[in-house]
Amino acid sequence: MDSPSKNKTNSSMAVRTGRRDFLRSALIAGATLPFPGLVLAKGSDDALPSYYPSDYHSIVEASKKESGLTIYSNMDTYNWAPILKGFQKKYPWVKTIKSNNLSSAEVFERYYSEAATGTSPASLMVSGDPTSWVRMAKKQVLLDYKSPEVAHLPDFAEPMPNLYTFSADPILMGYNTALLSEKDRPQGIGQLLELVTKDPKRFQGKITTYDIAVSFGFAIFYSWLKANPEHGWDTLGKLLSMTRPERSSGPMVNKLQTGEDLVGYFVSSTVIIPHAEKSSGLLGWSYISDGTPMFLRGMGIPKTAPQANTAKLMLDYILSQDGQIAVYDGGFTPYRTGLPAKAAPRTYESIESKLGKKNLVIIGYDDVSKEDAQKLTQKWKSYLK
């Protein structure tokens, strides 16, 4: 997404070099650093926050002996580009970083398949599949690692031991602005139900959403229904009878743009927002005013990670302020509080401020049994026509 950075001018390089030389000299002389809250990691030119442990330099040094980094994720190359750019600027010896773009469930399936036959090259895993993360935690496959950043993040930053939140992405309404007047562009599930009830012929088969058979979709519907125990099934049943579900957001967005579909509900923000920005106003989106699901994309380091130290550096970088800004630049929604609004206009904090905490539905990590999952799936499918 971001183009490679240009070389700095000679004057800026001189300033940066002079600052580094001063810091080194000050440390050797035993002087107090004039930059509060920062310490230098041994063997690194980059300043680290003062709350990092004193032995963090050992992770940095060990990373230098590892070869690159391999990431398994359900994210595309352009999503990773600004993150890798910032990380490699901070840790320039990590020259080769491989990131696979897999489905949410495939991230885990590939890892287990490889691990069963020997070793997996995966050192960091990132995916939006709560069910698979719960199973992985049960298997105790994740490396025991406590990030120094977690104490400076919201409670859901570490939903389970050794599992961290990469981003908190809103799930949205989407619509074709050429075919729906402003008053007919739903801002919530309740409003959408009113529209289709008034004019069912217009919307029949013209509404899209995620298929519950996909792990991403199951997590959304399960969490939304849990948050709406009184009217959830009644509302959802009426909408599903007019809905054509898709297995990913790509086809949803394409059909909304072409007019094949008029409205989409529970659409991934990571797909519809960048498409809307390039659609010349044809594709619109909104938060779901009566309950916006917030998807916690998880990340963790497997115990078998061949580049475990570099993976720790990457995980900590993603959780840091600079890393969370890079997460935004990659098309996701950062959740670290206090990010500059100009650098990251859309954050969990800004969405909560806009909608109110009670109108957010956190998609968490409930341990849903196979039997309960099958019952929910069957009931969901029974409403489709």
In a domain, 21, yes or no: no
Q: How high is the pLDDT of residue 45? A: 44
Strands 292-300 and 360-363: parallel
Specify whether 107 is located in the same domain as 133.
yes
What is the pLDDT at residue 37?
Answer: 45
Q: Which of 164, 159, 187, 161 is nearest to 174 (CA)?
A: 187
Q: Which residues neighbour 212 within 8 Å (Cβ) at sequence distance 6 or greater?
A: 218, 221, 245, 376, 377, 380, 381
Closest C-alpha among 118, 82, 121, 117 to residue 98: 121
A 10 A CB-CB count for 27 gives 13
Mean pLDDT along residues 272-279: 96
Same structural domain for residues 197 and 288? Answer: yes
Which pLDDT value is given to residue 52? 98
Does the pLDDT value for residue 156 go beyond 60?
Answer: yes
This prediction has a pTM of 0.86
Coil vs helix vs strand at 300: strand
Is 111 inside a domain boundary?
Answer: yes
93 and 242 co-located in one domain? no
Q: Which amino acid belongs to residue 328?
A: Y
Looking at the domain assignment, is residue 15 inside a domain? Answer: no
**Distant-in-sequence, close-in-space partners of 11: CB < 8 Å, separation ≥ 6:** none
Does residue 357 share a domain with residue 336?
no
- The strand pairing partners of 362, in sequence order, are 294
77: tokens are: 């190359």
Inside any domain, residue 229: yes
Model pLDDT, residue 385? 86
What single letter denotes the amino acid at residue 346?
A: R
Q: Provide the domain limits for residue 305.
A: 57-167+296-341
Q: Tell me which DSSP letter residue 3 carries.
A: P
Tens digit of each residue's pLDDT (9 = 90 or more) over 19-44: 444 444 443 343 434 334 444 444 44
Sort strands 292-300 and 124-127 into parallel, antiparallel or unpaired: antiparallel
Q: Alpha helices, DSSP H only, in the chain? A: 10-29, 57-63, 77-90, 106-116, 130-138, 189-198, 200-203, 215-227, 232-240, 249-258, 269-277, 308-319, 321-329, 348-355, 370-382
Residues 6+ apart with CB under 8 A from 330: 1, 75, 78, 79, 80, 81, 82, 83
Instruction: Identify which has the larger pLDDT, 206 or 32.
Output: 206
* Per-residue model confidence as pLDDT tens digits over 105-132: 999 999 999 999 988 999 999 999 999 9
Q: What is the DSSP string of 199-238?
A: -HHHHTT-EEEE-TTSHHHHHHHHHHHHH-TTTHHHHHHH
How large is the average pLDDT for residues 62-71? 98
Where residue 335 sits, what CATH number does that domain have? 3.40.190.10
**Matching residue, tokens 């990691």:** 41
Cα–Cα distance for residue pair 254/261, rounded to 1 Å: 9
Residue corresponding to tokens 């009670």: 358
Regarding whether 106 and 92 lie in a shared domain, the answer is yes
If one counts the domains in the chain, the total is 2
Does 313 lie in the same domain as 257? no
68: left (phi over 0), alpha (psi -120 to 50) or beta: left
Q: pLDDT value at position 308?
A: 98
Question: Is residue 36 domain-resident?
Answer: no
pLDDT score for 46: 59
Q: What is the DSSP letter of 69?
A: E
Do 69 and 211 share a structural domain?
no
Q: Give me the amino acid identity at 82.
A: P
- Tens of pLDDT along 337-361? 999 999 999 999 999 999 999 999 9
Distance CA 43, CA 37 (A): 19
Residue 282 belongs to a domain:
yes
Higher pLDDT, 9 or 56: 56
Distance separating alpha carbons of residues 365 and 382, to the nearest angstrom: 26
Residue with tokens 């998609």, as numbered in its chain: 363
Query: Do 154 and 209 belong to one domain?
Result: no
Whether 191 and 74 share a structural domain: no
Alpha-carbon distance 295 to 222, whole Å? 12
pLDDT of residue 47: 79
Give the mean pLDDT of 68-91: 96
Same domain flag for 377 and 251: yes
Do 108 and 82 have their domain in common?
yes
Q: Is residue 219 part of a domain?
A: yes
Cβ neighbours for 167, distance < 8 A, ≥ 6 positions apart: 296, 297, 327, 332, 333, 334, 335
**pLDDT tens readout for residues 239-251:** 999 999 999 999 9
Residues 163 and 66 in one domain: yes
Identify whether 356 is part of a domain. Answer: yes
